[in-house]
């Protein structure tokens, strides 16, 4: 049976008790400690196998990463919720561990800043400078973990949090990391395919490759931070043979944003990779290349990104067109380019206007120009605004009928004219539907009789030859008339 609020616990040799429950997860629950405001206790559930965590927590206590709390403006920022001490029950049985109390309410998921629209809605920073700072701080935290040979493995934006005020990274649930002990490794069972290195998409992740896996996932997260949330393995495939899912594209190494073009994958048109410095693009090329050992370590990312995050370096400048944008010195503003492209695409995507009279055959353009009027609600007369020297409005006590008689509306006159015109057009169409078939029948009868008379009047070979030419021309004219009557006219009547 697991411990609950109010029960006595042993923290090392010190007696204490569990305070209020603040969080419960799959492996355990987190409680406040009434006698220590800067710490909390994580107590594992009874169904969890305690020995599997006892040795892991002892290894974490033995090899603690150097990530001290940051103090700024009198506020304490905990960078990592790493175990501080073992927690046992009154009988001395392992129950969990204590860790620094992290103000979760002042943090946000890193996932929320990847998309600018989502970040703005949540009141989070959207500038390139802020995102480079977040990327540098993430690389620094990971470098401290790797120095002690610990790995996150399941590194992804949704598992990472940052302080909104300082942009420091806050790592939680550290007991689920891959932990290096004295002569033994405690592996991490969880991973996410969209952040899994190519060599492990088809083969099982082994302990020896966990740091190279972290290097790959770190590069993916940094790429998304610096490139509007775009995944480095998304883009426009060149054929149907390219996988449609991100894990499949990682497996096939469809990285489309390198210094050299990828023949099977084109980059996203709104990507900012072309506006990145060559130094950063080279780091990404190594991270997403064919050699896992060539991936930049987290310390190299930390040092490179810190140089851009420092305002005094001058490597980032404010956009002259939009003060909210920053871009790399000597490079165009990727945010402006992206907005212009999105605006242009939105304009092209507008619905096509209805068919205009000039799109119809010339003979029908004048007839089709006036639409059939539909009954409209009678507009309510509005009083004229008072202006200096203007005629005052009619008194409101005047009956509406008298007011309409004295103030005829030009819109009503125009609508009445259009209604009369439309009735005339409709009458003309009805008459044409009746008359044209009669004309067609009469013309067919006359042509047939004329054709018979020409054949009988031929007295010489020359007359027969001329009659044939005349009959051919008459036949062509008759075919054109038939096409207009049988095809064009019914189509026009149907469309209107």
In the block, residue with structure tokens 């998921």: 109
Mean pLDDT of 17-35: 93
Residues 234 and 318 in one domain: yes
pLDDT band at 39 (very low <50, low <70, confident <90, very high): very high
Which is more confident, 248 or 358?
248
pLDDT, the chain, mean: 83
Residues 37 and 116 in one domain: no
The lowest-confidence range among 223-227, 264-268, 305-309, 385-389 is: 385-389
In the block, residue with structure tokens 């934006």: 157
Domain contains 12: yes
Residues 216 and 117 in one domain: yes
Provide the pLDDT for residue 435: 73
Provide the pLDDT for residue 9: 95
Residues 50 and 127 in one domain: no
Domain contains 465: no
Residues 44 and 123 in one domain: no
What whole-number percentage of the chain has pLDDT above 70?
Answer: 77
Residues 251 and 321 in one domain: yes
pLDDT band at 428 (very low <50, low <70, confident <90, very high): low
| pLDDT exceeds cutoff 80 at 467 | no
Rounded to 10 degrees, what is the CA torsion of 279, 280, 281, 287?
Answer: 120
**Segments forming the whole domain that contains residue 337:** 104-342
| pLDDT exceeds cutoff 90 at 480 | no
Distance of CA 451 to the CA centre of its chain: 72
- The domain boundary residue, chosen from 81, 102, 123: 102
Sign of CA dihedral 26, 28, 31, 33: negative
Rounded CA-CA distance 466/293 in Å is: 91
Alpha helices in 72-127 (DSSP H): 116-121
pTM: 0.70
Residues 44 and 128 in one domain: no
List pLDDT tens digits, range 306-352. 999 998 999 999 999 999 899 999 999 999 999 999 988 888 776 65
The lowest-confidence range among 13-22, 317-326, 403-412, 448-457 is: 403-412
For residue 268, the domain's CATH number is 1.10.510.10
| pLDDT exceeds cutoff 90 at 462 | no
Rounded CA-CA distance 126/122 in Å is: 11
Total domains, the chain: 2
pLDDT band at 429 (very low <50, low <70, confident <90, very high): low
Provide the pLDDT for residue 85: 96
Provide the pLDDT for residue 362: 41
Domain contains 355: no
In the block, residue with structure tokens 């203007």: 390
Residue 482 CB coordination number (10 Å):
12
List pLDDT tens digits, range 375-413. 444 544 444 333 333 333 333 333 333 333 333 444 444
Residue 157 CB coordination number (10 Å):
19
Rounded CA-CA distance 97/95 in Å is: 7
CA angle 64, 208, 223 (to 5 degrees): 80
Alpha helices in 64-172 (DSSP H): 116-121, 128-147
- The domain boundary residue, chosen from 70, 102, 134: 102
Domain contains 367: no
All residues at 6 or more sequence positions from 339 whose CB lies less than 8 Å from its CB, including other chains? none
Provide the pLDDT for residue 150: 96
Residues 276 and 180 in one domain: yes
Domain contains 453: no
Provide the pLDDT for residue 369: 39
Provide the pLDDT for residue 382: 44
Q: What is the separation, in whole angstroms, between the first and last Cα of the chain?
A: 80
For residue 64, the domain's CATH number is 3.30.200.20
Residues 163 and 240 in one domain: yes
- The domain boundary residue, chosen from 319, 342, 365: 342
Beta pairing, strands 161-163 & 107-109:
antiparallel
Residues 73 and 191 in one domain: no
List pLDDT tens digits, range 159-168. 999 999 999 9
CB 163 within 8 A of CB 104: no
Record the tokens describing residue 298, joined without a space: 């987290």
Rounded CA-CA distance 55/427 in Å is: 96
**Taking Cα atoms as reference points, which of 202, 176, 210, 146 lies closest to residue 81?**
176
| pLDDT exceeds cutoff 60 at 12 | yes
Residues in the chain: 496
**Taking Cα atoms as reference points, which of 306, 311, 332 lies closest to residue 132?**
306
Which is more confident, 305 or 364?
305
| pLDDT exceeds cutoff 90 at 437 | no
| pLDDT exceeds cutoff 80 at 488 | no
What number of H helices and E strands is found in the chain? 13, 18
CB 257 within 8 A of CB 284: yes
Domain contains 488: no
Residues 118 and 27 in one domain: no
CB 78 within 8 A of CB 170: yes
The lowest-confidence range among 80-84, 102-106, 319-323, 424-428 is: 424-428
pLDDT band at 426 (very low <50, low <70, confident <90, very high): low
CB 257 within 8 A of CB 215: no
Q: What residues does 107 pair with on adjacent strands?
A: 163
Domain contains 489: no
Residues 171 and 130 in one domain: yes
Rounded CA-CA distance 229/335 in Å is: 13
| pLDDT exceeds cutoff 70 at 242 | yes
């Amino acid at each position: 049976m697991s411990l609950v609020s109010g029960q006595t616990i042993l923290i090392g040799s010190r007696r204490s008790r569990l305070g209020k429950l603040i969080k419960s997860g799959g492996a355990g629950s987190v409680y406040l400690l009434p006698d220590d405001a800067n710490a909390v206790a994580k107590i594992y559930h009874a169904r969890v196998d305690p020995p599997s965590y006892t040795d892991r927590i002892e290894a974490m206590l033995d090899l603690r990463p150097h990530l001290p709390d940051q103090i700024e403006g009198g506020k304490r920022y905990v960078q990592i919720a790493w175990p501080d001490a073992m927690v046992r029950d009154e009988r001395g049985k392992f129950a969990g561990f204590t860790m620094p109390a992290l103000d979760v309410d002042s943090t946000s998921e890193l996932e929320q800043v990847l998309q600018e629209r989502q970040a703005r809605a949540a009141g989070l920073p959207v500038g390139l400078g802020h995102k480079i700072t977040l990327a540098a701080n993430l690389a620094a935290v990971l470098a401290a973990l790797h120095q002690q040979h610990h790995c996150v493995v399941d590194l992804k934006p949704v598992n990472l949090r940052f302080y909104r005020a300082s942009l420091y990274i806050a790592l939680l649930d550290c007991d689920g990391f891959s932990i290096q002990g004295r002569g033994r490794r405690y592996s991490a069972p969880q991973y996410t395919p969209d952040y899994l290195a190519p060599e492990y998409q088809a083969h099982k992740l082994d302990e020896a490759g966990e740091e190279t896996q972290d290097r790959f996932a770190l590069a993916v997260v940094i790429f998304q931070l610096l490139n509007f949330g775009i995944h480095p393995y998304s883009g426009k495939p060149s054929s149907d043979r390219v996988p449609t899912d991100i894990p499949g594209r990682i497996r096939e190494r469809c990285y489309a944003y390198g210094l050299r073009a990828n023949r099977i994958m084109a980059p996203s048109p709104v990507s900012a990779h072309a506006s990145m410095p060559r130094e950063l693009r080279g780091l990404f090329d190594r991270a997403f290349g064919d050699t896992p050992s060539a991936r930049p370590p987290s310390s190299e990312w930390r040092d490179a990104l810190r140089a851009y995050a420092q305002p005094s370096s001058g490597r980032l400048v404010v956009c002259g067109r939009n003060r909210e944008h920053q871009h790399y010195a000597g490079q165009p503003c990727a945010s402006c380019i992206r907005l212009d492209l999105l605006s242009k695409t939105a304009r092209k995507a507008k619905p096509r206007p209805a068919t205009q009279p000039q799109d119809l055959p010339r003979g029908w353009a004048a007839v089709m120009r006036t639409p059939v009027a539909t009954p409209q609600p009678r507009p309510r007369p509005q009083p004229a605004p008072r202006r200096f020297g203007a005629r005052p409005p009619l008194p409101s006590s005047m009956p509406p009928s008298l007011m309409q008689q004295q103030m005829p509306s030009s819109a009503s006159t125009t609508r009445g004219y259009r209604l009369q015109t439309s009735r005339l057009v409709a009458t003309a169409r009805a008459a044409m539907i009746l008359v044209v078939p009669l004309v067609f029948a009469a013309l067919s009868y006359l042509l047939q009789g004329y054709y018979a008379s020409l054949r009988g009047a031929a007295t010489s070979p020359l007359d027969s030859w001329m009659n044939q030419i005349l009959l051919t021309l008459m036949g062509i004219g008759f075919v054109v008339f038939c096409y207009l009557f049988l095809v064009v006219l019914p189509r026009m009547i149907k469309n209107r």
